[in-house]
Amino acid sequence: MFVFCFQNLAQKPVILRKRRQRIKIESNWELFYYRFHQDHARSNLIWNYKTREELRDTLEAEMRAFNVDRELGSSTVISWNHHEFEVKYECLADEIKIGDYYLRLLLEEDENEESSVIKQSYEFFNELYHRFLLTPKVNMKCLCLQALAIVYGRCHEEIGPFPDTKYIVGMLERCTDRLERDRLILFLNKLILNKKNVKDVMDSNGVRILVDLLTLAHLHTSRATVPLQSNVIEAAPDMKRESEKEWYFGNADKERSGPYSFVEMQEFWSKGVLTPKTRCWAQGMDGWRPLQVIPQLKWCLLASGQAVLNETDLATLILNMLITMCSYFPSRDEDNAIIRPLPKVKRLLTDNTCLPHITQLLLTFDPILVEKVSILLYHIMQDNPQLPRFYLTGVFFFIMMYTGSNVLPIARFLKYTHTKQAFRSEESKGPDIFQRSILGHILPEAMVCYLENYESEKFSEIFLGEFDTPEAIWSSEMRRLMIEKIAAHLADFSPRLQSNTRALYQYCPIPVINYPQLENELFCNIYYLKHFCDTLRFPNWPIKDPVKLLKDTLDSWKKEVEKKPPTMSIEDAYEVLGLPKGQGQQDESKIRKAYFRLAQKYHPDKNPEGRDMFEKVNKAYEFLCTKSTKIVDGPDPENIILILKTQSILFNRHKEDLQPYKYAGYPMLIKTITMETSDDLLFSKLSLLPAATELAFHTVNCSALNAEELRRENGIEVLQEAFSRCVSVLTGSSKADDMPVQVCGHICKCYSVAAQFEECREKIIEMPNIIKDLCRVLYYGKRVQRLAAQAVECVSSFAVDYFLQTHLFHAGILWHLLIYPFNYDFTLEESGIQKNEDTNQQEVANGLAKLSLHAVSRLGGYLPGELTTPENPTIQKSLAGMLTPYIARKLSVSSPAEILKMLNSNTESPYLIWNNGTRAELLEFLEAEQESMTRRGECDKSYGADFVFSDHAKELIVGEIFVRVYNEQPTFQLEVPKAFAASLLDYIGSQAQYLHTLMAITQTGKVESDQHVDRLQRVEMALEALRNVIKHNPGSETECIGHFKLIFSLLRVHGAGKVQQLALEVVNIVTSNQECVNNIAEALVLSSLLSLLHSLPTSRQLVLATLYALTSSTKIIKEAMAKGALIYLLDMFCNSTHPQVRTQTAELFAKMTTDKLVGPKVRIALIKFLPGVFMDAMRDNPEAAVHIFEGTHENPELIWNDNSREKVSTTVREMMLEHFKHQIENPDANWKLPDDFCIAFGEANGELSVGGVFLRIFIAQPAWVLRKPRDFLVALLEKFTELLEKNNAHGETLETVTTATVCLFSAQPQLLDQVPPLGHLPKILHAMSHKNNAIPKCAIRVIHTVTDNELCVRSMASLETIGPLMCGMKKRSDMIGLACEALNRMFQKEQTELVAQALKVELVPYLLRLLEGQGLENLESPAATKAQIVKALKSMTRSLQYGEQVNEILSRSSVWSAFKDQKHDLFISESQTAGYLTGPGVAGYLTAGSSSNVMPNMPPPVDHEAGDLG
């Protein structure tokens, strides 16, 4: 690299460049110089101080020689021979360089360095291989092999397949140097990175050669000790020396010598007795072979050199190579199809010359080797046809002896292979996984199942740990025992491998290993049943296949029942094994030797006819090995209990899975229950009855099929016998864990489920003793509450059938069930504290209380939906008697917790009065009846239906509601308020006649008898309740429809004021409902209500409010008018001293007058008593109407004073009292006002009134804000035009009407807009020519006022206006000024039609003559009139169309020139209208006109009953 750089540097001075030519330097010379001065030791560069000095010396010598040559040839151009210049670095002469790389540094280089990238790897690899082939030195060969391995390992993809792979394999077979052997293997390890090279290895017998080298691992004695390994290999002391003598060799005379141990063979070699060509043999070889080709002897005796790898590392490397080779050739293709024939590498490894030796490496117990062997064997055995016979290699013994913890590869291997071994005939295997597994004799059944059912990782976790679960009982102690037993079984084979690495194991089956930890365990399916049934330690342990477990459990049950004592004795076993009898117990080693000898002799693989004898030998050996285990003569009760409990757990937790299947164990179960029930020692032994009855419950609870099957097997009867026997021994001191208590509980649950099926219920009905026993269980269940709960649930289930309900009822079941709810503690439920029945006794009591209440609900048939049971009126009647109807009704709608809280709390509500006294009273009754029924079989004949609480007997109860309490809590939410209202009405109706009779008898109105007082109070309570229920429950008032004659009749019960008041309140409330109002109208009962206005002064406001609501009906208004409502109300309005009453009366009058049909009649009748203004005031402001009545008024609309008021009040009071007297005598009496009746108001006589307005007062108060200005306008104009048309109109009247008209328009000019449509303008203009001079004057005054409005002017423009006006001016010269002002106003509005009329009638010349003074002689102020004339003429000139004509006429006049330019404003006075605008500007009955309110100095009289009645 540096030579190249230097050459470029040497050439630089020779190159010439042109001036200013810039050449870009591409070389990084700065980096070069930086690196140049550093030391480098790389595989492709060695550069240091010595190389730099040698470069310097060489360059200086070259420069000196060049300068000498240049000086000698100065006359010619000299060129430097740089092509041949070379630097020879002497310091690098000892480095071996192949190609561009130094071999030493290449071997030392780290593969991860950047500089480790090899350039031109193919050429370099070839150069290396060339040097390897040429060199005769072993060390050089090894260096080259090492370099070849490095280069090929890094660049195998670039280099490709190596063609001489077979040659390398051959060298490996031939070489005798350990270093060369290891380097060749390391090179082969890299060569197999290319799949094509693997084929060459296989073709050149490389697999067998590698396996031969594997066996050397047995000779490695300096490996690390694995914990517990000292306990693994166990052999008898006297067998050790003998077992190591494995070797034989032949001398020159072909005589065989031996056997010798391997140590002795080493001594023979060192003495020269053995030579490389000496033929030797040992077990495992197929014949005699020269020493130099036997791998163990060759590499331990003959070989030279120092190995790179020890025996274990060498074996690990070879195993990795074999694993890699197998991975190239999977046993299945991409479609998961099995490849056949098996890939060659796996066929070679499966061969008997290879596979046993690979397997036996497991006995090295080296963790790495064991792991690698497991992985390799797993690869080899994938879909291998030889897999079923793989067990003959002893692999499962060897692999299970491993003591290390890296067992995951082992687990994977075992999981794949353990059930695929042909160690038994297919007929003898059976379906059990334990029988099909080769590990069945080694591992416990649970571990075999674990291996099969779970992943390898999970099995490894169990295998290494300490587990005590239903699926695995395993510990390190059990593993140690297993290893000891296997080691003892292998006995002499393990030491042999250290002497002869190629020794082959002769397979012999191992007897079943018995673990003391499992001595009392019963294994079924995949579970240890003792642990499985221990639900405290293992609750809800997962069950993989419940159906399979059930089948296996039934099989185990059958086997256990059929279990018999063993048929073989110890003497028989000795005889089969050929051991002497009668000498006592034989030593285990002798038994084992005898078994091995016979097993090898009769093994079916070696002796096809010895199968029977082989099985006898096995049985004898297994019997002798297991003779210390527990032997039971016949069935074991503990095992049967476990089997029964297991089935119960299964049916309980996997009900859905097992439901489709009919239970097949009923014959055995029924037989078990029958035998246990009839056993005299039932209560003094370990009984199967609790477990059996529990299983009976769970099976029936699982499926209807099982319930029918149990019935067909007479199970109901069998259970009843067991039930009766156990119930008979129950006492008050029985405990929950007593066997009879448990049995009774299970049978109760069983009956609960069976009762769901009709045929089972029929069977139960036929057996009345069941119900009696149930009652007895409930009686003694006070102390054993869980049993009581189960019995209660049974009762609840029986309630599905009406006959069972009745049987239970007559057996007195209610006495028992109703006591438990009173043990409920609702504070525990609401506390929020975590609780359960196992630790909290009160929680048990609470649960029992809920169940009891539920059972009671089902017995009575209260529950809806899915829980529906037949309704039982008899039971419901008893429950209503003892629990009150309200609580009994609640059973169907409320949750048990709500009802129980109610029962155990003190409550006083409209539905329930419940307290400590009622509870104690009921409990005392229940306990007495319970005791009587249990002891004597007698009880209350009504079964509680006639039971009455003493507290309830004192109360008024209507519709199951306590009326007193309801009146105290009127807002209480009732369930069915309408029904309660109907009940109240019925009750009141039943008492109404009594009330009327009572009041008639007691003329004083005082009730003296206590009985009568109580009865009256109850009616008052009922009325008050009716009022409350209607008031607080909208919609319930409709129940009163049809009862209003009754209710209104109570208004006439004089002397019972509270009854009247309450009845009135009821009527008042119902008036909010239109249907009720209509019904009242149809009942014609209003007279009773009207009379209260006088007879019950305290309720007048309520009566008025009621009447106000009722008068929404026209029919009622009509009836009210007929019954004298008008006179009663007028009396209230005129004579009452209560302001609110009078205001309400005014409001009522206003409402009545607005009725479309009867309203006008009401108004007409009222006007006969009061001026019309009162009607309007009542409508607009009732309070104002009262104030108007009480005040003194004189205004345009009302003249009212004390005399008027007194006259009206007196008249009304007299008429009212007379009518009241008639109505008391005859409630149906009507009232009618005489047709000619009218009250004359004297002060109003002589006043001119138009449209209800007094004109005299209106003229005096023109600013008075009228109530109906338009109506007044219409009436006034009609009156005015009427007077204008008369020939001899009354002068004063005409003047008054004219003045009022002018005042009205002046005060309210907006009314002028309404004048044109009324059509009075033509009549007014026509009146200008009236022969009566007074009439034109009035007309001009009105026209003058009207011209202020543009609409009126437009209307007059369409009429003949100017001519009539001109005529009026001529008749009344005194009105000329006013008329001219009117003309001015009209012309100012630019009405062309009016100007045209003026021209037509020659108004201009007429006005000019007036200016000259003609016709103005009699006027007081002619100058002012002339000013108005001038203004009128000027207005005409401003007309667009006729202005020129007017000017032309004016220009011809001599007088106009004197007036046209003058201003006449000083002569014109403002209209006197300001006075009309003064005064109040808002409508008001008390604030306008000359009205006065006299403030009294004394208080008004008190409004009391005596004063009004007079």
Of 702, 506, 730, 493, nearest to 597 (Cα)?
Answer: 506
pLDDT at 253: 64
Range 338-359 average pLDDT:
93
pLDDT at 411 over 90: yes
Distance CA 360, CA 365 (A): 10
Q: Give pLDDT, residue 116.
A: 60
Query: Which one has a higher pLDDT value, 1465 or 802?
Result: 802
905-919, 1258-1272, 1476-1490: which is most confident: 905-919
pLDDT higher than threshold 70 for residue 1246 = no
Query: Cis peptide leading into 1405, omega within 30 of 0?
Result: no
pLDDT value at residue 228: 44
In this prediction, residue 1154 has a pLDDT band, given cuts at 50, 70 and 90, of confident
What's the average model confidence in pLDDT over 122-136? 86
Other beta carbons within 10 Å of 36? 15
pLDDT, position 636: 82
Q: Confidence class of residue 874 from pLDDT cuts 50, 70 and 90?
A: very high
Alpha-carbon distance values, 983 to 912, 957, 963, 1043, 1180 (Å): 17, 10, 11, 12, 44
C-alpha 1058/C-alpha 1038 separation (Å) is: 23
Using pLDDT thresholds of 50, 70 and 90, give the confidence band for residue 229: very low
β strands within 380-482, DSSP E: 467-468, 473-474
Q: For 919-974, what is each residue's pLDDT tens digit?
A: 898 998 888 888 888 888 888 888 888 888 888 888 888 888 898 888 888 988 88
- Residue 503 confidence (pLDDT) above 60: yes
* 718 φ/ψ sector (left φ>0, alpha ψ -120 to 50, else beta): alpha
* pLDDT score recorded for residue 34: 83
Instruction: Pick the range with the lowest mean pLDDT from 103-117, 435-449, 1483-1497.
Output: 1483-1497
The number of residues making up the chain comes to 1510
Question: Rounded mean pLDDT of 1177-1196?
Answer: 82
Q: Quick one: pLDDT at residue 628?
A: 45
pLDDT tens digits along 613-670? 777 777 777 666 665 444 545 678 888 889 999 999 998 899 888 888 889 888 888 8
Q: Which of 430, 434, 427, 431 is nearest to 450 (CA)?
A: 434
Q: Cβ(700)–Cβ(754) under 8 Å?
A: yes
Confidence of residue 1089 (pLDDT cuts 50, 70, 90): confident
| pLDDT for position 318 | 95
The top-scoring range by mean pLDDT among 573-582, 753-762, 1476-1485 is 753-762
**DSSP one-letter code for 1475:** G
CA 641 to chain centre: 44
d(C-alpha 585, C-alpha 568), whole Å = 16
Is pLDDT at 354 greater than 90 in this prediction? yes
Q: DSSP letters of 636-667?
A: -HHHHHHHHHHHHHHHHH-HHHHTTSPPS-HH
* Range with lowest mean pLDDT among 280-284, 809-813, 872-876, 1056-1060: 1056-1060
Has this prediction a pTM greater than 0.75?
no
Comparing 443-452, 691-700, 1437-1446, the range with the smallest average pLDDT is 1437-1446
Mean pLDDT is highest, among 314-323, 783-792, 858-867, 1114-1123, for: 314-323
For residue 160, list its beta bridge partners.
none
Report H helices in 1139-1201: 1139-1153, 1159-1167, 1172-1180, 1182-1190
Q: For residue 693, what are the contacts with CB-CB under 8 A and spacing of at least 6?
A: 673, 719, 722, 742, 743, 746, 747, 750
Residue 497, CA atoms < 13 Å, CB-side half-sphere: 27
Residue 1469 has pLDDT above 70, yes or no: no
Of the candidates 113, 115, 142, 130, the residue with the CA atom closest to the CA atom of residue 44: 115
pLDDT for 711: 86
Range scoring the smallest mean pLDDT among 186-190, 238-242, 449-453, 590-594: 238-242
Question: Strand runs (DSSP E) across 1342-1388, as ranges?
Answer: none
Average pLDDT, stretch 338-354?
93
Pairing type for strands 45-47 and 40-42 reads antiparallel
Going through 820-967 in order, the beta strands assigned E by DSSP cover 907-908, 913-914, 957-958, 961-962
Query: Rounded to whole angstroms, how far apart are CA atoms 532 and 469?
Result: 8
Give pLDDT tens digits for 276-285: 889 999 988 8
Contacts of 1154 (CB under 8 A, 6+ apart): 1179
For residue 539, give Cα distances in angstroms to 701, 769, 840. Answer: 20, 37, 20
Q: Categorize the per-residue pLDDT at 1486 as very low, low, confident or very high, splitting at 50, 70 and 90.
A: very low
In the block, tokens 């007559």 appear at 810
Strand-pair partners of 1254: 1249
The SS3 of residue 974 is coil
Mean pLDDT of all residues in the chain?
A: 82
